[in-house]
A and B are shown apart, each in its own frame.
Chain A
Amino acid sequence: MTRLMRTSKLAKLPVVTMGGEDVAQIKDVVYAAGGGQVGGFTLAGRGLFAGPLKQALAWTSVASLGADAVMITDEGALESTGAVLDRSASSGGSGGNVLGSQVLTDAGVDLGKVVDVIIEVSQGGEGQCDVVGYEIEASEALGSSGTDVLIPLPDTISVSGEHLIVPASAKDFVGHDLAGFGAAVEQFRAQLKADR
């Protein structure tokens, strides 16, 4: 079973052990090395005055990601933030936050700025957390300047802290809400494969 989510919905989700202990909350979502998937999360402490933690959560240690909490087996699932970030460090981008980055097509057209990232969470077995799209504040090139729209991404994506490059054909699969966006992603990726 798969589910589409905005990463903004993950921020501040509590990280809860199977024993019911509330150990942290999600701070940042970290791309996996190679792009296209979520590699893990940095964490903040619970409570108003708690800051970022020195521990992070790798995606492989997540038992389940629900609408209201991230479940882990126990506190042993957490590891040092450095270890999680190091494993995500070979993706070749310039580093930084994707939110606010400019989205360009490979034809050099500005599509807008990223306001959110769409992920597809598959539960059970070897569950994955794929990055399948961006929610962007559309530029005039999309004909709906200023509105937020969803654009699908290829399996492997070009990412950096400033510019995100997508195939020009992504413009043809723009969606306006998560319902039906999964199908748009599949069609977009199938078209890319057919064009190769």
Chain B
Amino acid sequence: MTWWVWLIVIVVVVLLLVGAVLAIQARRRRGGVIVDPAGSPRTKGGGDR
């Protein structure tokens, strides 16, 4: 293969790696609204009734 084919392959691989790292980071940093984080028993007395 000629040098420019190798160059394209390397650029594509680098872009894929950077994209993967950014996607993993975004997932690690994604927030939520957590309930009962220790996971104790399932139901809870309901409502203000």
Shortest beta-carbon distance from A90 to chain B in Å:
6
Query: A29 vs B36: C-alpha distance in the bound complex, in angstroms?
Result: 11
B29 (CB) vs chain A CBs: closest residue: A44
Q: Is the CB of B40 within 8 A of A192?
A: no
The dominant DSSP class at the B interface is loop
With a cutoff of 8 Å between Cβ atoms, the chain B residues found around residue A93 in the complex are 35-36, 40, 42-44
The dominant DSSP class at the A interface is loop
Interface size for A (C-beta < 8 A) is 51
Q: Is the CB of A97 within 8 A of B34?
A: yes
Once A51-B28, A154-B47 are accepted as A-B contacts, the answer to whether A85 and B33 lie under 8 Å apart by CB is no
Q: Is the CB of B35 within 8 A of A96?
A: yes
Once A51-B28, A86-B38 are accepted as A-B contacts, the answer to whether A167 and B33 lie under 8 Å apart by CB is no
Interface positions of B (Cβ within 8 A of A): 21-22, 25, 28-49
Interface positions of A (Cβ within 8 A of B): 7, 10-12, 26-31, 33, 35, 42, 44, 48-52, 85-86, 88-99, 106, 117, 154-161, 165-167, 189, 192-193, 195-196
